[in-house]
Amino acid sequence: MRKLKIIKIGGNVINDKQELESFLNDFSDVDTLKILVHGGGKRATELSATLGLETKMIGGRRVTDEASLEIVTMVYAGLLNKNIVAKLQANNCNAIGLTGADANMILAHKRIVKDIDYGFVGDVDRIEKDTLALLLNHKITPVFAAITHNKKGQLLNTNADTIASELAKGLSGIFDVELIYCFEKKGVLLNIEDDDSVIEEINKEKYESLKKDQIIAEGMLPKLENCFESLENGVKKVIIGKPELIRKSGIKHTSLTL
């Protein structure tokens, strides 16, 4: 099987022009097949505040009403996605910017209301793996914004970590997949105030213990849930850490194992 790296970039790296450019230079040099998935929640929150709209988060996930959906679509699929693609093209990485609606790449449904109504938030049903494989095998690098659709004309805001995980799971039968989550921290931290307190390996049992002790909470919870789902569905390797991971060996990070 050919190796495929699926790399999700988010956090403050997206907001920092120099950090983002440095990451995109490194991403362009990755010599395996690759997919980039990007967030942009901080930029969307900033624009919402500028427009006088409140951003509501529950358990690290954004509640998306109609106005919020318009903003995240503009920011994720427009401003951020196309700027990222343009910079990759400048680095001779032949990238194509996508949402889940493009070529029906990621089909989702509006999250079913149980205890919480998340609004226009999508849960992924399937990915179009054959079309993705066609792009990858023609050396075209997909760059996904965190927007999906329901094939009934409705766009849906979908967690970027989840999109990366679903892509990894769906393509694991075709490629040897490594999933990498990059953000501004060195990995999962034992103490949120100490950037050097990296937990270098987390298995499922340790994760449950960390969660019970509330060492891991809020935004990190859904990320780790996605990591373990990926490992349980054929993904060979999952790591979390700073963007330098993709160009340097020996960088401290968190590895996830079953």
Q: What is the pTM of this model?
A: 0.94
Residue 60 has pLDDT above 70, yes or no: no
- At 153-180, the pLDDT tens digits run 999 999 999 999 999 999 999 999 999 9
| Residue predicted with more confidence, 28 or 63 | 28
**Number of compact structural domains in the chain:** 1
* Share of residues in the chain with pLDDT > 70 (%): 99
Mean pLDDT for the chain overall: 93
Distance CA 84, CA 86 (A): 5
Q: Which domain holds residue 77?
A: 3-256
Q: What is the pLDDT of residue 54?
A: 82
* Share of residues in the chain with pLDDT > 90 (%): 75
Q: What is the pLDDT of residue 216?
A: 86
**How many degrees, rounded to 5, is the angle at CA 144 between CA 138 and CA 148?**
120
Q: Please name the residues in contact with 86: beta carbons below 8 A apart, sequence gap of 6 or more.
A: none
- At 104-153, the pLDDT tens digits run 999 999 999 988 888 999 999 999 999 999 999 999 999 999 999 999 99
Residue 5's pLDDT band, with cuts at 50, 70 and 90, is very high
23-46 burial code (b ≥16 CB/10 A, e <16): bbebbbebeebbbbbbbbbebbbe
Distance CA 18, CA 129 (A): 33
Q: Which CATH number goes with the domain that contains 58?
A: 3.40.1160.10
Helix axes 129-137, 160-171, angle to 10 degrees: 80
